Amino acid sequence: MRGRRFAAHDDAEHLGGRFFGERLTVGERVQCAAQRGVHEELRLSPLSNSDNELHLSRVTSRPFLAVIQYDGGGFAGWQRQPVDRTVQAEIETVLERLMRHRTAVTGAGRTDTGVHALGQGVSFLGTERWQPDDMRRALNALLPRDIWVQQVCVMRAGFDARRSATARRYRYLIGTDEAAASPFRKPYEWALGRELDERALHGAAVALLGEHDFRGLAAAGANTSHYRCRVALAHWAPRADGMGMAFTVEADRFLHHMVRFIVGTMVDIALGRRSPDDFPRLLAATDNLAASPPAPPQGLYLEAVRYPSDLYAAEPTT
């Protein structure tokens, strides 16, 4: 059995030549495309004949995975909004220029306003003429400075960055020293400026492991079918720069504001504002009314997304 890896940091033969250069009306074109059910980019050009038929040419498309990083401070979250600037909208705008048609993208995690990403997975369809490294360079040449594409991979048919993911990993940074209020640090961590009880943090993290119903530690969502998540990793550690604490959590799925509610409640326990016994009770709660306020968004990073190895069409390169 092949393993799984983190993204971090043949249709043409099936169709043969049947439709290439064939003359079809618009209705026939739509019907054929629907019947085939394959990923194609269909381009029409008028023919100079009395029937004013259309000429169908086919360019086979394939799914791509882009691993991206972004500074969430300048965005109203990942998901496209009618007016506000979002990461999804910026990427789709650039892809439209490169592909010369509208290209929808799907993100593995729908990060909120102010949340950053070190390894967000993004899927979209692109034509075979694009090689992964050429695609990466073209995207980076056109994207704004607060978005950077780390890696592009060709994936197998049916790949979807959100639905195909088997795990996501988040990291939350807290500044416990006075200098956390610096304008060069405050946008990228929770500038708490107070020491935390590490033993209390570790105890709460251990309670997270396993499968739980997280409705007591997440925002209520109208489209949430269930609140159960399986946490495989949860731990606190001093930051490598010595400026505070870092929380890392990995699970099969995350709910809206879930990590921020967890961190906010853990910090209250570590500051002595809540009893350590509160945390297990919140994992059994049926609503979030007893939870502490969610931690600020700027300390949160989507660090990596895991996909099964057999979904990669070729060995990824950086």
User: Quick check: 29 and 89 in contact, CB under 8 A?
Assistant: no
Residue 28 CA, distance from chain mean position: 37
Looking at 11, 71, 112, 287, which residue is catalytic?
Answer: 112
Residues in the chain, total? 318
For residue 252, indicate whether it is catalytic: no
Q: 250 forms bridges with which residues in the sheet?
A: 169, 233
Closest CA to 266 of 238, 239, 287, 235: 235
The string over 216-251, giving b where at least 16 C-beta atoms fall within 10 Å of a residue's C-beta and e elsewhere, is bbbbeeeeeeebebebeebebeeeeeebbbbbbbbb
Under 8 Å CB-to-CB from 172, ≥6 apart: which residues? Answer: 190, 246, 247, 249, 259, 260, 263, 295, 299, 300, 301
CA distances from 295 to 48, 97, 210, 217 (A): 64, 38, 22, 12
Catalytic residues: 112
